[in-house]
Amino acid sequence: MASIKENLERVRERISRAAERSGRRPEEVLLVAVSKMVPVERIQEGIAAGLSILGENRVQEAKEKIQALGHAGASWHLVGHLQTNKVKDAIALFDLIQSVDRLSLAEELDRRARAAGKRVDVLAQINVAAEATKTGFAPDELRSALETLARLEGLRVRGLMAIPPEPQEPEDSRPYFKTMRTLLETARGWWIPSLDLDALSMGMSADFEIAIEEGATIVRVGTAIFGPRPA
């Protein structure tokens, strides 16, 4: 397998060029290295190479890795679907939960966070392409959802996240990323109290450069850093 350090250098260079093309500074874009199905040894190699944020899709898998690696070398984001019965563990494990996709989940996160004396950083996940196979708030229900989320004292809503359809070509994702940028800008204009909407998480290995050009502040890159996952 290719060196993670070399892969990371290439990804960072691509982030820098994409940021410059859109008149932004590379430091404005956070790189989340998605480590789903990546062995602990490879993750350790990534941390040694300079990775500082790791993203996991499943709570149980993340729990085992965090128990082995801890939080000292990197922070951890949940980027996959969160089941309600895993909320207690998720609050203890993750620094940011990117995938708050329904109000019932948000309410359980709020309840558990307040019980633990914490305030949890979250992103609201948007089903930007209205895909039946994906979860998330519909764009036209975003204002109502954010107004409800803003009243949950155990949550700190930091922005929006989306997983568009898998592209055949990177440019296929651009319309969805444009929509997400517009949604975030519109939501900021609502001036909903208690919301600090500074994050826009979108773009993965296949299209993260397009996402950056369209305003992403967080990109979630796995394969381009760690290599292909096992089948």
Kindly write down the DSSP assignment for every residue of 70-118, as one continuous string. Answer: -SSS-EEEE-S---GGGHHHHHHH-SEEEEE-SHHHHHHHHHHHHHTT-
What CA–CA distance (Å, rounded) separates 176 from 208?
12
**Position 227 in a domain:** no
Q: How confident is the model at residue 206, as a pLDDT?
A: 97
- Global confidence as pTM: 0.96
Any idea which of 2-6, 100-104, 220-224 has the lowest mean pLDDT?
2-6
**Position 11 in a domain:** yes
**In terms of residue numbers, what domain contains 133?**
4-221
**Position 108 in a domain:** yes
Report helix, strand or coil for 3.
Answer: coil
Residue-wise pLDDT for 22-71, tens only, equals 999 999 999 999 999 999 999 999 999 999 999 999 999 999 999 999 88
Place of tokens 């300079």: 50
Residue-wise pLDDT for 130-159, tens only, equals 999 999 999 999 999 999 999 999 999 999
Report helix, strand or coil for 126.
Answer: strand
Q: How confident is the model at residue 166, as a pLDDT?
A: 95
Do 139 and 183 form a contact (C-beta atoms < 8 A)? Answer: yes
Burial (CB count <10 Å: 0-12, 13-18, 19+), residue 163: buried
120: which strand partners?
155
Do 136 and 162 form a contact (C-beta atoms < 8 A)? Answer: yes
Count of CB atoms within 10 A of residue 16's CB? 16
Q: How confident is the model at residue 1, as a pLDDT?
A: 56
The three-state DSSP-derived secondary structure of 67-79 is HHHCCCCCEEEEC
Percent of the chain with pLDDT over 90: 95
> Residue 83 above 90 pLDDT?
yes
What CA–CA distance (Å, rounded) separates 41 from 47?
10
> Residue 114 above 90 pLDDT?
yes
Q: How far apart are the first and last CA of the chain?
A: 15
**Position 231 in a domain:** no
Average pLDDT, the chain: 96
Q: How confident is the model at residue 230, as a pLDDT?
A: 75
**Position 226 in a domain:** no
Place of tokens 């801890």: 70
**Position 229 in a domain:** no
- The CA-atom distances, in angstroms, between 171 and each of 75, 152, 164, 166 are 31, 37, 12, 11
**Position 155 in a domain:** yes
**Position 25 in a domain:** yes
> Residue 127 above 90 pLDDT?
yes
Number of separate domains in the chain: 1
CATH of the domain at 108: 3.20.20.10
> Residue 8 above 90 pLDDT?
yes
- The CA-atom distances, in angstroms, between 46 and each of 26, 226, 227 are 20, 8, 12
Tell me phi and psi for residue 12, to 5 degrees: -65, -35
Q: How confident is the model at residue 117, as a pLDDT?
A: 96
Both tokens of 135, joined, read: 């979860």
Any idea which of 127-131, 148-152, 226-230 has the lowest mean pLDDT?
226-230
